[in-house]
């Protein structure tokens, strides 16, 4: 007989190793679909690992994919900490990118430091403003933010479509629906030449550290944690639940908006309607894998990015569908959720003595 008993406190070592074990379990479980696809198992894993970690190119690819994931992961982590379920990071990412193009495609020009700051701020504000609406609707009207933020994603993507086929359309694009390019002074510089690693990485890492310090060491961060864990007690103690929620919503949206700025001003150089392969949604998985810890988000983002890059390589190398990446990430999420049970509960086998 197997039973679960609650633990008083989770041992620290277990809490730290559980996600790692969960990730390994997910990779192991991926053997089932790989075999089902008819690929040689060992070869598949080998190609995947080499594709993700086996070369300089692979590593830089992982880093460049992890960059937006860190930011969208942080966006989800900080919001979920306050129990504000922002599913709209995808939309906020796109609106951040639109704002970056609006500011950084030549309407103004100036020294790079100024222009880069301008596109970053514009993107962050756009994302924040987009998230304020659903947050206000939640705190004032009780509207479910899962629904409102999710549906806003589709509205924003249609808006992007309008912009890139209309006001922002690049006249030089030979009819392709894409925006005018980001001018050189506003582009995020490459960190490593001839790779896709750009300064957005620094923005993401600084943001992760900043969110960590903010949540753990500041008064507003304290309020966010209190409001998230028990809004009634936080309110009774004199905290403004509405104000705290609006702050969280704005920060969450801003982080997702920054992800969009990085993609458009650091990587692509112009806006299209396929700028993000779902980084906004993957950010939710990243945040969950990280247990909503801002520093954990960085590690989780690298893990998810490595899985995506490795699976791409596997699909090219031995003809397994690259959708396997989504499967592995999903398995990892399930494993982490299960490991959450293990860390909070003790598993007992058989009957105790007596």
Partner 1 sequence: MTETRPIVLELRTITKRFGPLVANDAVDLVMRKGEILALLGENGAGKTTLMNILFGHYLADAGEVLVADAHGGLQPLPPGSPHAALAAGIGMVHQHFTLAENLTVLDNITLGTEPLFALHRSTRAARAKLEDLMARSGLTVDLDATVARLAVGERQRIEILKALYRDARILVLDEPTAVLTPQESDGLFATLRALAAQGLSVVFISHKLNEVVSASDRVAVLRGGRKVAERETAGADRATLAELMVGRPIAASRREPREPGRTVLKLDAVSVAGHDVRTRLASVSLDLREGEVVGVAGVSGNGQTALASLVCGLVAPSAGTMTLLDQALTEFDPGAFVAAGIGRIPEDRHSEGVVGSMSIAENVALETIGTERFQTGGFLKFGAMRQAAEEAIRGYEIKCPGPDAPIRLLSGGNMQKAILARALDGAPKLIIANQPTRGLDVGAVAEVHRRLLAARMRGAAVLLISEDLDELFELSDRIAVMFRSRLTAALPSAGLDLKTLGLMMAGHDPAEVAA
Which residues of the chain form contacts with partner 1 (CB under 8 A)? 1, 3, 5, 8-9, 217-220, 222-223, 225-226, 229-230, 232-240, 348, 351-354
When the beta carbons of 190 and 225 are compared against partner 1, the nearer one is: 225
106: left (phi over 0), alpha (psi -120 to 50) or beta: left
- Taking the complex as a whole, the smallest distance from the CB of residue 240 to partner 1 amounts, in Å, to 7
- Taking the complex as a whole, the smallest distance from the CB of residue 80 to partner 1 amounts, in Å, to 14
When the beta carbons of 58 and 239 are compared against partner 1, the nearer one is: 239
Instruction: For strands 2-6 and 345-349, give the pairing.
Output: antiparallel
- Taking the complex as a whole, the smallest distance from the CB of residue 202 to partner 1 amounts, in Å, to 24
Please give the span between the terminal C-alpha atoms of the chain, in angstroms, as a whole number.
Answer: 16
What residues contact 138, with CB distance under 8 A and at least 6 apart? 84, 144, 145, 148, 245
User: Tokens 């990243």 label which residue?
Assistant: 286
User: Closest by alpha carbon to 308, among 295, 326, 283, 291?
Assistant: 326
Dmax (CA) of the chain: 83
What SS3 class is residue 297? Answer: helix
- Taking the complex as a whole, the smallest distance from the CB of residue 216 to partner 1 amounts, in Å, to 8
- Taking the complex as a whole, the smallest distance from the CB of residue 224 to partner 1 amounts, in Å, to 12
When the beta carbons of 140 and 348 are compared against partner 1, the nearer one is: 348
- What are the angstrom distances between the C-alpha of 140 and each of 116, 144, 219, 239, 250? 36, 11, 24, 16, 16
When the beta carbons of 49 and 222 are compared against partner 1, the nearer one is: 222
Distance CA 213, CA 84 (A): 20
When the beta carbons of 13 and 219 are compared against partner 1, the nearer one is: 219
C-beta of residue 172 within 8 angstroms of C-beta of residue 39? no
- Taking the complex as a whole, the smallest distance from the CB of residue 328 to partner 1 amounts, in Å, to 31
- Taking the complex as a whole, the smallest distance from the CB of residue 211 to partner 1 amounts, in Å, to 15
When the beta carbons of 84 and 320 are compared against partner 1, the nearer one is: 84
When the beta carbons of 75 and 239 are compared against partner 1, the nearer one is: 239
Distance CA 46, CA 51 (A): 8
């Amino acid at each position: 007989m197997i039973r679960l008993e609650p633990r008083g406190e989770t041992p620290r070592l277990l809490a730290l190793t559980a996600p790692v074990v969960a990730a390994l379990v997910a990779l192991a479980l991926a053997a089932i679909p790989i075999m089902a696809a008819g690929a040689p198992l060992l070869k598949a894993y080998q190609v995947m690992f080499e594709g993700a970690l086996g070369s300089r190119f692979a590593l830089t690819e992982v880093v460049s994919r992890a960059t937006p994931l860190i930011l969208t992961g942080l966006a989800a982590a900080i919001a979920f900490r306050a129990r504000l379920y922002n599913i709209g990071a995808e939309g906020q990412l796109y609106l951040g990118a639109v704002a970056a193009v609006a500011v950084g495609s030549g309407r103004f020009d100036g020294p790079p430091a100024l222009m880069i700051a301008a596109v970053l701020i514009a993107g962050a504000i756009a994302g924040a403003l987009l998230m304020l609406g659903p947050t206000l609707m939640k705190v004032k009207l009780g509207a479910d933010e899962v629904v409102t933020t999710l549906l806003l994603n589709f509205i924003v993507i249609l808006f992007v479509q309008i912009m890139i086929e209309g006001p922002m359309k690049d006249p030089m694009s030979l009819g392709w629906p894409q925006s005018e390019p980001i001018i050189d002074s506003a582009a995020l510089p490459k960190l490593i030449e001839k790779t896709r690693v750009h300064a957005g990485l620094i923005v993401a890492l600084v943001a992760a550290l900043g969110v960590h310090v903010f949540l753990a060491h500041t008064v507003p961060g304290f309020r966010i944690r209190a409001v998230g864990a028990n809004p009634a007690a936080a309110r009774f103690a004199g905290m403004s639940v509405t104000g705290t929620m609006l702050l969280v919503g704005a920060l969450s949206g801003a982080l997702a908006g920054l992800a969009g700025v990085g993609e458009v001003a650091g990587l692509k150089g112009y806006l299209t309607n396929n700028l993000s392969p779902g980084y906004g949604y993957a950010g939710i998985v990243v945040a969950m894998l990280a247990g909503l810890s801002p520093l954990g988000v960085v590690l989780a983002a690298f893990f998810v990015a490595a899985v995506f890059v490795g699976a791409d390589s596997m699909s090219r190398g031995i003809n397994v569908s690259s959708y396997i990446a989504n499967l592995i990430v999903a398995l990892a999420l399930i494993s982490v959720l299960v490991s959450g049970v293990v860390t909070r509960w003790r598993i007992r086998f058989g009957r105790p003595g007596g």
